[in-house]
Structure 1
Amino acid sequence: MNQEQRIMQWIDGHREEILSFLQQLIRIPSVNPWFFDEPAPSKEKDLQEFLLRKLSGLGASTELWEPVADDLKPYEGMAGYYPGRDFTGRPNLAATFEPDAKGKSLLLFGHIDVVMAGSKWTVDPFEGKIADGKMYGRGTVDMKGGVAAMIMAIEAVVRSGFKPKGPVVVGTVVDEEAGGMGALDFIHHGYRTDACILTEPTSLTIAPLCRGILWGKIKVQGRSGHIEMPQADWKDGGAVDAIKKARYLLGRLDRLNEEWAVRKTHPYLSIPCQVHVAQLNAGEYPTSFANEAEIVFNAQYLPSERDEKLVGGNVKKELTDFLAAAAKEDPWLSEHPPEIEWLVDADCAETDASHPFVQTCVRSLKAIGEEGKIEGLGFHTDMGWPVNVGIPTVNFGPGDPSLAHHSDEFTPVDEVIQAVKMIAKTIVDWCGVEEA
């Protein structure tokens, strides 16, 4: 029996242990404190300490530390930096197997924070119930399923009697769900490898690309007036309906999206970048024209569009210029121009699909009986900072990403097992293994 067969046999023989480990992660509700109106103790530390004990027990050298926002000030204006953010009780964790080995190194990377459970669950969101081949729970998809898979993959190698010929670093970080400062801090801390698997959910496809995401709020000014009464021309002090002006801008956004649908595409993305309107807020009374309106939007951008700080400044300018041009064509808006308030800029990244590491991952996936499909992710992941410092990175993990943050979030348990096998196979093929 060769090395790979021994490792795969171990995984098949420890299926229940693998799923039990994921359940243990689900049962520690490591909800990012950003989701609470009032300060609440985070369980992120509890989860990281649980993982530290697990990884130390497998023989890894471990480091647990709390990010310090002031230490990251040199990254101001770049992805993941938020001044003054408090990480007390919210540590990052790194565990390194065979740190002095001379072979190619690999980072297995993931975040352990989750969004709050929310409402309308039909099962306990923090139990990890298994039914009909699916495990339910907050984080089964995003992304404790992937974290469990990557840790159990290195355990499969170690428990099968092998050690990697190159360093394998397991990195688990906090704060991805609120901007990615944990990943920035991990890279700032100095961890570097020859390649990285970020175990975000991909439904077991290889995703060497994620899109950037901009959240913004367009503020449209009007002038209040009695909605049931005749109004003078706005130049003479009459009312101006901010909702009507917002509708005009929405029409212009529709035209912009038609252009983007042709121009902002990528061969590994199934849908083009668009400016999606997510919220409309306007009006004060049923008897008054709206004094102001807000259009809250989500706009996506491609890695090729990043600015000099590796974020979405170029697309911000494009949208600001678009808004100014649209306003000039409307007499009221030309004198009362709408403004954009930027809320979030979540970065993006891409690794060339022809890179040897990407192709290694594809071969590993095919070797366990999967298609080995390559496709991009339409949403942000933490892959930006590894790529920014020269680490070729792919996203790969169990679970359908469209189910992330849903009530009754679930991952097929067979996908978790397949993810363990693929990652273990990649350790064998990329790093190499030898008898311990």
Structure 2
Amino acid sequence: MTPPDSPAPIAGSPLQNSESTVTELTRALVSIPSVNPDLEVDGDAEGPLARWIEVWLNAWDFDVSVTEPVAGRFNLVARMAATEPGPRVVLNGHMDTVGVSGMEVDPFAAEVRDDRIFGRGSADMKGGLAAAMVAARELARVGGPQSGELILAFTADEEYASVGLKALLDGGFTADEAIVLEPTGLEIQPANKGFTWLELEVKGRAAHGSRPELGRDAIRDAGRILAALDRYELRLAERDPHPLLGRGSIHAGTIRGGTAPPVYPDRCDLVLEARILPDESPELAFRRFEGILAEIGRDRPLDVELRQGLTRPGAEIPSDHPLVQGLESALRAEGITPRLSGMTAWVESAWFNEAGIPALCFGPGSLDLAHTAVESVPIAELESAVRVLTRYLQTAFAREDR
């Protein structure tokens, strides 16, 4: 299915933007709404944005494919290959954004102020998409890669269920390395945390509030579990911290229980989230918490059911991986001191790594401003990202360490 035609963005048509600066291109992308409809009912999804980018990349002779992994959601893959074999390098980003409710700036006006571009998706991650597109254009301008293949993989639904990238990988998509253009402030992030949701159903016994001998307070028992989260984190503190990510953590995400003040609650549901390191399995976090519950129950038995909910494993590549070293060299060549850090959130680089494609995060903007009421991206970082990515691509296709 072909996505619907996009509205004309503030900067004009794709062809009018074929020679745009990264600032102009970022503003154009921000001005095309692509809110994830699973997060905001009237969200436009990725279709209009994918159509606009498709036309822009076609103008530079990329082989562009737009597909629909699920109804109304769109992936875009653009390729430019050399005749000589070589590395397949992916620049990846997601086209969807979170919702715009409560924003303090016009989400789609792409206002330029204080050397920043404001609007939904400016940091997460249309600035990264624009930087990738301009770097790809600069490579195309000189005839494309001398060997190997450049692949732009812009996907759907990262902000909700990752159906876009999962569909690509499940369909056989492969490459030799991937740069995921999440907002890292131009820091190289070869490691990210994962998470697992621990779902607990704490059972009590309903009774009139005046008859404590007949009732059991499920919310109070849930409180005993919440108080034990400190005990869980003490166990985490016993291990050495990860050099880039520190330690794991756990917090209470939701709690629901009770029907009325004069009634002993017969049920309380908790969902806890444990953040886990790349070398920790979700099953380890589950077993660790089972042990905590057993300890609590020795004082006074608990009637509780523990289930493992949504889970995403952490991932990392070595700090001396050629992808890391290549970006470090490109940064130095552009006069920027390389900095390595860890991505504390779960990101789709983990899916690439799980599929056997070494991946890391690197891009303009700050995660601290992503999803916020005043989301923005510094223009200077956009420009630096283009220079670094362009230099990286020029050297990556000539590397002999494959």
Q: So what's the TM-score if we normalise by structure 2?
A: 0.88
The CA distance in 2 between the partners of 1:347 and 1:128, in whole Å, is: 35
5+ long unaligned stretches in structure 1:
1-13, 68-86, 233-237, 307-311
Counterpart-to-counterpart distance in 2, 1:28 and 1:376: 31
Match of 1:400 in 2: 366
Once the 2 structures are TM-superposed, how far is the Cα of residue 170 of structure 1 from its aligned partner? Answer: 0.4
Tell me by how many angstroms 1:346 deviates. Answer: 2.3
Equivalent residue in structure 1 for 2:233, among 216, 236, 257: 257
Is the CA contact (8 Å cut-off) linking 1:210 and 1:376 kept in structure 2?
yes
Using the TM superposition, name which of 20-29 and 275-284 deviates more. Answer: 275-284
How far the C-alpha of 1:150 sits from its partner, in A, is 0.9
Other-structure match for 1:95: 78
Helix, strand or coil: the match of 2:270?
Answer: strand
1:145 aligns with 2:127: yes
Q: Alpha carbons of 1:264 and 1:248: their partners in 2 closer, same or farther (altered >3 Å)? A: farther
How far 1:15 sits from its partner (Å)? 10
Deviations 1:9-63 (A, max 9, x none): xxxxx997211211121122211121145xx564311111111111111111111
RMSD over equivalenced CA pairs, Å: 2.2
Cα distance, 1:401 vs. partner?
0.9
1:171 deviates by 0.4
- For residues 203 and 284 of structure 1, the distance between their equivalents in structure 2, rounded to whole angstroms, comes to 47
Residue 252 of structure 1 aligns with an amino acid whose one-letter code is A
CA contact (8 A) 2:36 2:43 kept: no
Structure-1 residue corresponding to 2:221: 245
Residue 291 of structure 1: CA displacement? Answer: 2.8
What secondary structure, in the 3-state scheme, does the structure 2 residue paired with 1:177 have? coil
Does the CA contact (< 8 Å) of 2:224 and 2:296 recur in 1? no
Aligned residues: 381
Q: Quick one: distance in 1 between partners of 2:306 and 2:185?
A: 36
Distance between the aligned counterparts of 1:376 and 1:15, measured in 2?
A: 34
Deviation at 1:379, TM superposition (A): 0.6
Give, as a single letter, the amino acid of the residue that structure 2 aligns with 1:21: L
- The answer for the alignment partner of 1:57 in structure 2 is 59
Contact 1:264 1:273 in 2 (8 A): no
| 2-structure distance, mates of 1:404, 1:261 | 29
Within a 5 Å distance, the mapping from 1:19-168 to structure 2 comes to 19-36=23-40, 40=42, 42-67=44-69, 87-119=70-102, 121-159=103-141, 161-165=142-146, 166-168=148-150
Encode CA deviations 1:328-375: one digit per residue, 9 max, x unaligned. 324341xx2x12344421232111111112111111122222220111
Q: How does 1:214-253 map to 2 (within 5 A)?
A: 214-227=196-209, 229=210, 231-232=212-213, 238-253=214-229
Residues in 2 aligned to 1:156 and 1:197: alpha-carbon distance in whole angstroms = 17
In the alignment, does 2:299 pair up with 1:315? no
SS, match of residue 214 in structure 1: strand
Q: Which string of whole-angstrom CA distances, capped at 9 and with x for unpartnered residues, describes residues 200-243 of structure 1?
A: 1111100011111222332212223344x3522xxxxx222222
Letter in 2 for 1:277: A
Residue identity in the other structure for 1:411: V
Match of 1:83 in 2: none
Instruction: Report the equivalent of 1:80.
Output: none
* Shift in Å, 1:152: 1.2
SS in 1 for 2:226: helix
Question: How many Å separate the matches in 1 of 2:49 and 2:20?
Answer: 20
Q: Distance in 2 between matches of 1:400 and 1:262?
A: 31
Letter in 2 for 1:89: G
Q: For the Cα contact (< 8 Å) 2:82–2:144, is it kept in 1?
A: no
The whole-number CA distance in structure 1 between the counterparts of 2:54 and 2:83 is 20
Equivalents in 1 of 2:182, 2:225: separation in Å? 36
Q: Distance in 1 between matches of 2:222 and 2:287?
A: 20
CA distance in 1 between counterparts of 2:386 and 2:50 reads 20
Partner of 2:9: none
8 A Cα contact 1:15 1:417, kept in partner: no
Q: Deviations over 1:154-182 (max 9, x none)?
A: 112333x3422231000011111112221
Change (3 A) 1:58 1:274: same
- Of Structure 1 and Structure 2, which has the larger fraction of its residues in helix? 1
Separation in structure 2 between the aligned mates of residue 151 and residue 215 of structure 1, nearest angstrom: 36
Separation of aligned partners in 1, 2:66 and 2:84? 22
Q: Give the Å deviation of 1:324.
A: 4.1
1:325 counterpart residue number: 294
- Does structure 2 retain, via aligned residues, the 8 Å contact 1:42–1:89? no
Question: SS of the residue aligned with 2:228?
Answer: helix
Using the aligned pairs only, state the percent identity. Answer: 29
Are 2:157 and 1:175 equivalent residues in the alignment? yes
Structure 1 runs, 4 residues or longer, greater than 4 Å off: none
5+ residue gaps, structure 2, are 1-17
- Structure 2 residue matching 1:143: 3-state secondary structure: helix
**Which amino acid in 2 is paired with 1:262?**
E
Kept after mapping to 1: 8 A contact 2:125/2:183 = yes
TM-score (norm 1): 0.82
Q: Does the CA-based 8 Å contact 1:31-1:113 persist in structure 2?
A: yes
Provide the rounded CA distance (Å) in 2 between the counterparts of 1:385 and 1:43. Answer: 21
Alpha-carbon separation, structure 2, partners of 1:331 and 1:288 = 22
Match of 1:344 in 2: 310
- Label 1:256 to 1:117 Cα distance change in 2 as closer, same or farther (>3 A): same
- Which residue of 1 is the match for residue 6 of structure 2? none
